[in-house]
Amino acid sequence: MDTENVPLSLLRPGERAHVVDLALNGLLRRRILDLGIVPGTALTCIGRAPAGDPIAYLVRGTVIALRSEDAIGIRVNPSLDKNMLG
Amino acid sequence: MTSLNSTDPLLRIYKDAEILRASSGKPLADRVVTDIFTYSEKLAGQVVQRENIGQVEWRERIDRIVISRVFGYPLMLILLGLVFWITIEGANTPSQMIATALFAFQDVLTGVFNALGAPVWLHGLLVLGMYRTLAWVIAVMLPPMAIFFPLFTLLEDLGFLPRVAFNMDNLFKRAKACGKQCLTMCMGFGCNAAGVVSTRIIDSPRERLIAILTNNFVPCNGRFPTLIAIASIFMTSAVALSQSLVAAGFVTLLVLIGISTTFMVSWGLSKTLLKGEPSSLILELPPYRRPKIGAVLYRSIIDRTIFVLRRAIVVAAPAGAATWILANVHVGQLSILGHIAGFLDPFAQVLGLDGFILMAFILGIPANEIVIPVLLMSYLATGQLTEFTSLMELREILVSNGWTWLTAFNTMLFALLHWPCATTLMSMYHETGSKKWTALGFIIPTLIAVSVCFGVAQIVFLLGLA
Amino acid sequence: MELKIGDHTEALSNKGRVGFENFGINVAKDQFVIALAGNPNVGKSTVFNSLTGLHQHTGNWPGKTVDNAQGTFTYRGKQFLLVDLPGTYSILAHSVEEEIARDFICFGQPDVTVVVLDATSLERNLNLALQIMEITSRIVVCVNLMDEARKKRITIDFPTLEKELGVPVVATAARNGEGLDKLQQAIFKIAVEKQPTEPKQIVYSDEVEKIIRILQGKIEEVGMAEIINPRWLALRLLDSDPTFVESIGRYLNLYKRNQMIHAKGERVAL
C-alpha cells in the first residue's frame, strides 16, 4: 500500500492522495496553505482542461484549479483508502 | 521595518521572534496554519454529516462534459453563438415595436411644434436631431441589451464562467497572462468600462494591466448592435438562411477575431512593454447553482433598461443635436459635417472606409451607440435620419453612398478594434492611476484597428475583389 | 490536540481604537458598526444585500482599488452600519484584500464581526472564523447556503458547533431570506446588549506553544500586555508578516499619542 511520494501534477483524474509536503515559496505557498492544502490533507484529482492544463482538484469539499507547474511543487502520497472525505 | 526606531521594544521582540523561528527548522508559520486546519477538520468531522455520495451528481456530469477534451471548446463556441443568436432574434420584434411607437410620437411632437409656430431650425434641432437620435438609439440598443445582460447574468449565476476561464487558461498562460482575464473579458461583453473595473480580480499588477489594455477588443453592448445592424443590413441579402442566423454567425466570427486579437496583443505586451513571468493561478470552480431565473431576469432587465435610457438621454440626445447642427450649418457649399468627412476621406479610403464612417466613429467617442445614427444622419443630405422601417431602405442608403461588402466588413472590423469609449478611458485612468497607460489604452487599439483595416483593404484591392 | 476555553481578552484593547474615518467610513451617532467577513463565493453579498436592501452604497477603501460597500439597517429601534469586507480565505496571507479585512477588524474594532461560512464546505471555511475568533470575541458565525446544503443532503449539528466554538452560530439561506432575523437578533445581542462570548482558543502543537510562551514572556516584560493580547501578538510575530507588525507598531504609537490626547479630548488619525 505504501507508494512513493509523487508530485500532485502526476495524479490522474479520479485518483486520490494525501499531501506530504509543499515545495513552494512565497505568495503561492501562503495561498495553498490558506486553502487548507496542508500536510495530511486528502485531495482528489477531478480532471484536466481540454489542453491538459490547468488541473482541477477536490480538496475539503471545494474544487480548486491549479496549473501543473504549480501543482508539481506539492508532493503527495497516492492513497488506496476508501475515505470519501476530501 | 523603517517606521519603528531601533530602540523600539516591538522591533526588539520581532528580532527575537525571527531568531526563534530560524532555530526551529521547519517553517513555523506553516505549523500555525496547519494546526488551525487540523482543528477545523476535526470540528467539521464532528458536526457535518454528508450522505453517501455514491451516485454521481448532475453537477459532476455536466462538468465532465464542459471541461472534456472533445466537447470543451466546441461547447463554449456554440454557447457563445447561441447567446448572440437569442439576443438578435429576440430583439427583433421589440425593436420594431419601440421604433414604431417612438416615431409615431415624433409626429405628435412635430404637430406641437407646428401649432406653436416654432422656427424650422428649432424643430430640426430638437425633433429631427435630438429626439430622432434618442429614439433610434433606444429602439436599436435597448432590446439587445435587455436580453444579453440577463442571459449573461444567468450564466454567471449558474457558475459557468469559471469553467470557461478553466478551459481557456492554457492560452492565457502562453500569452503570459492570467486565466482570470477570461472573466474580465466576459464582463467586457456587457460594458468595457465594467470589464476594466473587474480586472481587480487579477492580483498581479502586470497581468492586470494586460487585461485592462486588451479589454477593448471584446465588443461591448454599445457596439454589438452596430455589428448586428451592419451584419443584418449588408451581409444577409445574398444568403437564403434565416437572417438572424447569418447575423449571429457574423457577429460570432467578429467576436472570435476580437478574442484572437486579445491573445496576440497580450502576448505582444508580455514580450515588450509588460515583460514578466506569469504568476500562479488558483481558480476556484464553485458548484453549479440553479439560479433563481425569475429574480435574475427581473432585476437585470430593469437595471439595463434604466441604464440604456439614462445613457440615451445624457449622451445620445445631445450628440444627435450636435450632429444635426454640424450637418445643417453650411460653410460655403458644404456643411461642416461634409467638410470634416471630406478631410478624413483620403485616409479613410485607404482603410477601406470613407470619411463619413471615420467621422462617425470619432464622434462616437462619448458613446459607441451613436455611431450608426450619426453615420446615417450624415449620409442623408438633408442631415436627418429616415425612419427605421426596412433594412432594404437602409441598405440602399449605404450602397448609394459607395458601400461595398469590403466597406461593411471593414466597418465591422473597425468597430470591433478601435479606441475605447470615453467612459472606458476614464475607468482605465481610475484603475491604473496613470496617464501613460491610459494613453496606451487609446493608442494600441487605434493602431491595431488602422493596421488591420489597412491590410485587409489593400489585399482586397490588390486582388481586385472590390 | 486538546482545546481549552481559555481566558480570552481582545487582541487589541479598545482604548486606542482607530477611528472609522480612517477606513473611509463615516459613522453616525449611536450607529453600531458591523463588519461582514467571509470566504469568496459564500453568498456574503447576498447576506449584505438582504440586510441592507437599497440603503447601501459602494466606494473604495482609502488608497486601495478594492471595493468597499456599506449599508444600514434598523433592528428593534437601533441603527446598524454594515461594512462589507473583501472576501478572503484567511487573515494571515498577504494580499491587499486580506490586509484590509484584517486591519479593519484589528484596528477599527467594529462592534460585531459577522463571519459568513459556506454550509457545503465547512471544513475549509471554519479556518477564517477561527482566525477571527483569535482577534475578537465579538463575533457571530453565519453558516449560509443552507439551501444548497440541503440539496446535497448535508446536515450540520448546530448546537454542538455553537458549543464547541463558544460564539453564536446562525444558520441562514440568504437567497430565501431564511435565518436573517435570527442573524440580526444575534448581532443585536452582542452589539447592543453586550452579551459576552467565550470563543474557543486553539492550542497549537507543542513546538509552537513553547515558542509562544517564550515570546509572551518578553512581551509582558516590556509592558505591552496592557494594550495587546500577548498570546495573539506572539502568534502574529511567528507569522512573519513584517507589514502587519509595522501596522501594529504604528498602532502602538497611536495608542501612546491617544493616551496623551485623550486628556485633551481630541481624536487622532493614524
Chain B residues within 8 A of C3 when measuring between CB atoms: 39
**In the prediction, which pLDDT does C203 show?**
87
Distance, CA of C124 to CA of C145 (rounded, Å): 14
Model confidence at B28: pLDDT above 80 = no
CB contact A7 to C (< 8 Å): no
What's the pLDDT band for B385 if we cut at 50, 70, 90?
low
Chain A residues within 8 A of C127 when measuring between CB atoms: 34, 36
Chain A residues within 8 A of C120 when measuring between CB atoms: 61
Distance, CA of C16 to CA of C227 (rounded, Å): 8
The answer to whether A27 contacts C94, with C-beta atoms less than 8 Å apart, is yes
Give B269-308 pLDDT, tens digit per residue: 998 988 877 788 888 888 787 777 887 788 888 887 888 8
The dihedrals phi and psi of C40, each to the nearest 5 degrees, come to -65, 155
- The chain-wide mean pLDDT, for chain B, equals 83
B67 exposure class (CB count in 10 Å sphere: 0-12, 13-18, 19+): buried
| C-alpha distance from residue C107 to each of C11, C136, C238 (Å) | 9, 11, 19
Give C25-79 pLDDT, tens digit per residue: 778 888 899 999 998 878 888 899 889 877 777 776 766 667 778 899 999 999 9
Distance, CA of B374 to CA of B142 (rounded, Å): 18
Could you give the angle at the alpha carbon of B407 between the alpha carbons of B402 and B409, nearest 5°?
155
**In the prediction, which pLDDT does C5 show?**
40
**In the prediction, which pLDDT does B235 show?**
66
Give C249-260 pLDDT, tens digit per residue: 776 676 666 555
* Residue B358: HSE in the Cβ half-sphere, 13 Å Cα cutoff: 22
Among B16, B35, B292, the residue with its CB nearest the CB of C205 is: B35
| C-alpha distance from residue C265 to each of B135, B405, C17, C20, C29 (Å) | 61, 77, 14, 17, 17
Q: Which residues contact B56 (CB under 8 A, 6 or more apart)?
A: none
Nearest to C128 by CA among C7, C12, C35: C35
Instruction: Using the Cα atoms of residue B390, residue B392, residue B396 and residue B402 in order, give the sign of their dihedral.
Output: positive
**In the prediction, which pLDDT does B55 show?**
47
More confident residue, C227 or B45: B45
Mean pLDDT of B62-76: 79
The answer to whether A61 contacts C127, with C-beta atoms less than 8 Å apart, is no
CB contact B463 to C (< 8 Å): no
Task: Name the β-bridge partners of C73.
Answer: C80
CB contact A72 to B (< 8 Å): no
More confident residue, C74 or B388: C74
**In the prediction, which pLDDT does C33 show?**
93
| Angle, helices C122-135/C230-239, rounded to nearest 10 degrees | 120
Q: Which residues contact C253 (CB under 8 A, 6 or more apart)?
A: none
**In the prediction, which pLDDT does C79 show?**
92
3 state SS for C164-202: HHCCCEEECEHHHCECHHHHHHHHHHHHCCCCCCCCCEC
Among A36, A38, A49, the residue with its CB nearest the CB of B166 is: A49
The answer to whether A54 contacts B53, with C-beta atoms less than 8 Å apart, is no
Instruction: Using the Cα atoms of residue A38, residue A44, residue A46 and residue A52 in order, give the sign of their dihedral.
Output: positive
What's the pLDDT band for B6 if we cut at 50, 70, 90?
very low
What's the pLDDT band for B120 if we cut at 50, 70, 90?
confident
Nearest to B285 by CA among A52, C156, C40, C262: C40
Calculate what percentage of chain B has a pLDDT beyond 90.
Answer: 20
What's the pLDDT band for B456 if we cut at 50, 70, 90?
very high
Distance, CA of B341 to CA of B349 (rounded, Å): 11
Whether the Cβ atoms of residue A21 and residue A28 lie closer than 8 Å to each other = no
CB contact A31 to C (< 8 Å): yes
Distance, CA of B201 to CA of B183 (rounded, Å): 9
Mean pLDDT of C170-176: 91
**In the prediction, which pLDDT does C130 show?**
92
- Strand segments (E) across chain A: 6-7, 16-22, 42-48, 55-59, 62-66, 74-78
The answer to whether C123 contacts A30, with C-beta atoms less than 8 Å apart, is no
**In the prediction, which pLDDT does C259 show?**
57
Distance, CA of C214 to CA of B137 (rounded, Å): 72
Task: Name the β-bridge partners of C141.
Answer: C115, C169
The answer to whether C124 contacts A61, with C-beta atoms less than 8 Å apart, is yes
Q: Strand pairing of B48-50 and A74-78?
A: unpaired
Calculate what percentage of chain C has a pLDDT beyond 90.
Answer: 27
**In the prediction, which pLDDT does B347 show?**
92
Nearest to C104 by CA among C194, C47, C27, C28: C27
Mean pLDDT of B231-239: 67
Q: Strand pairing of A55-59 and C31-38?
A: unpaired
The answer to whether A54 contacts B283, with C-beta atoms less than 8 Å apart, is yes
Among A34, A59, A61, the residue with its CB nearest the CB of C90 is: A34
Distance, CA of C66 to CA of C96 (rounded, Å): 8
Q: Which helix (H) or strand (E) holds C11?
A: none
Chain B residues within 8 A of C154 when measuring between CB atoms: 48-51
What's the pLDDT band for B359 if we cut at 50, 70, 90?
very high
Q: Which of B37, B41, B46, B48 is the best residue to mutate to test the C interface, defined by the most C CB atoms within 10 Å of its own CB?
A: B48
Chain C residues within 8 A of A61 when measuring between CB atoms: 120-124
Domains of chain A: 6-78 (2.30.30.90)
Chain center to CA of C69? 16
Mean pLDDT of C161-175: 93
Residues in chain B: 466
CB contact B396 to C (< 8 Å): no
Calculate what percentage of chain B has a pLDDT beyond 70.
Answer: 92
What's the pLDDT band for A25 if we cut at 50, 70, 90?
confident
Q: Grid cell 460655403 — which residue?
A: B332
Chain B residues within 8 A of A45 when measuring between CB atoms: none
**In the prediction, which pLDDT does B3 show?**
45
What's the pLDDT band for B131 if we cut at 50, 70, 90?
confident
Distance, CA of B65 to CA of B60 (rounded, Å): 9
CB contact C72 to A (< 8 Å): no
Chain center to CA of B290? 26
Give C89-142 pLDDT, tens digit per residue: 887 756 777 778 888 888 788 999 999 999 988 888 888 899 899 888 899 999
Q: Distance (Å) from the C-alpha of residue A77 to the closest C-alpha of chain B?
A: 18
Could you give the angle at the alpha carbon of C149 between the alpha carbons of C146 and C150, nearest 5°?
90
The answer to whether A60 contacts C121, with C-beta atoms less than 8 Å apart, is yes
Q: Grid cell 482542461 — which residue?
A: A49
Report which listed range, B32-41, B240-249, C13-22, C107-116, is most confident: C107-116
3 state SS for chain B: CCCCCCCCHHHHHHHHHHHHHHHCCCCHHHHHHHHHHHHHHHHHHHHEEECCCCCCCHHHHHHHHHCCCCCHHHHHHHHHHHHHHHHHHHHHHHHHHHHHHHHHHHHHHHHHHHHHCCCHHHHHHHHHHHHHHHHHHHHHHHHHHHHHHHHHHHHHHHCCHHHHHHHHHHHHHHCCCCCCHHHHHHHHHHCHHHHHHHHHHCCCHHHHHHHHHHHHHCCCCCCHHHHHHHHHHHCCCCCCCCHHHHHHHHHHHHHHHHHHHHHHHHHHHHHCCCCCCCCCCEEECCCCCCCCHHHHHHHHHHHHHHHHHHHHHHHHHHHHHHHHHHHHCEECCEEHHHHHHHHHHHHHHHCCCCHHHHHHHHHCCCCHHHHHHHHHHHHCCCCCCCCCCCHHHHHHHHHHCCCCHHHHHHHHHHHHHCCCCHHHHHHHHHHHCCHHHHHHHHHHHHHHHHHHHHHHHHHHHHCCCC
**In the prediction, which pLDDT does C65 show?**
62
Helix, strand, or coil (residue C85): coil
Whether the Cβ atoms of residue B349 and residue B368 lie closer than 8 Å to each other = no
Helix, strand, or coil (residue C58): strand
CB contact A4 to C (< 8 Å): no
The dihedrals phi and psi of B132, each to the nearest 5 degrees, come to -65, -45
Distance, CA of B13 to CA of B17 (rounded, Å): 6
Whether the Cβ atoms of residue B281 and residue B209 lie closer than 8 Å to each other = no
**In the prediction, which pLDDT does B416 show?**
95
Q: Which of A27, A33, A34 is the best residue to mutate to test the C interface, defined by the most C CB atoms within 10 Å of its own CB?
A: A34
DSSP 8-state secondary structure symbol assigned to residue C216: H
The answer to whether B69 contacts A50, with C-beta atoms less than 8 Å apart, is yes
Chain B residues within 8 A of C207 when measuring between CB atoms: 24, 28, 31
Q: Grid cell 488602422 — which residue?
A: B450
Report which listed range, B28-32, B47-51, C146-150, is most confident: C146-150
**In the prediction, which pLDDT does B317 show?**
85
**In the prediction, which pLDDT does B67 show?**
76
Chain B residues within 8 A of C215 when measuring between CB atoms: 13, 16-17, 20
**Which grid cell sits at B399?**
450602397
What's the pLDDT band for B437 if we cut at 50, 70, 90?
very high
**In the prediction, which pLDDT does B397 show?**
80
The answer to whether B47 contacts C92, with C-beta atoms less than 8 Å apart, is no
Mean pLDDT of B129-150: 84
Distance, CA of B98 to CA of B167 (rounded, Å): 40
- In the sheet with C56-60, reading across from the earlier edge strand, the strands are C56-60, C67-75, C78-84, C31-38, C112-118, C139-144, C169-171
**Which grid cell sits at A32?**
495553498
Give B178-192 pLDDT, tens digit per residue: 888 988 998 898 889
- The chain-wide mean pLDDT, for chain A, equals 81
The C-alpha torsion from C147 through B63 and B144 to B191, rounded to 10°, is: 90
Report which listed range, A30-44, B71-85, B147-161, C187-201, is most confident: C187-201
Mean pLDDT of C193-204: 88
The C-alpha torsion from B219 through B222 and B227 to B230, rounded to 10°, is: -160
Distance, CA of B185 to CA of B198 (rounded, Å): 9
Whether the Cβ atoms of residue C235 and residue C134 lie closer than 8 Å to each other = yes
Report which listed range, B64-68, B95-99, B246-250, C71-75, is most confident: C71-75
Chain C residues within 8 A of B3 when measuring between CB atoms: 246, 249-250
Chain C residues within 8 A of A34 when measuring between CB atoms: 89-90, 92-93, 127
Q: What is the largest CA-CA distance in chain B?
A: 94
Model confidence at C8: pLDDT above 70 = no
Nearest chain B residue to A62 by CA distance is B286
Instruction: Using the Cα atoms of residue B395, residue B396, residue B397 and residue B398 in order, give the sign of their dihedral.
Output: positive
**In the prediction, which pLDDT does C263 show?**
47
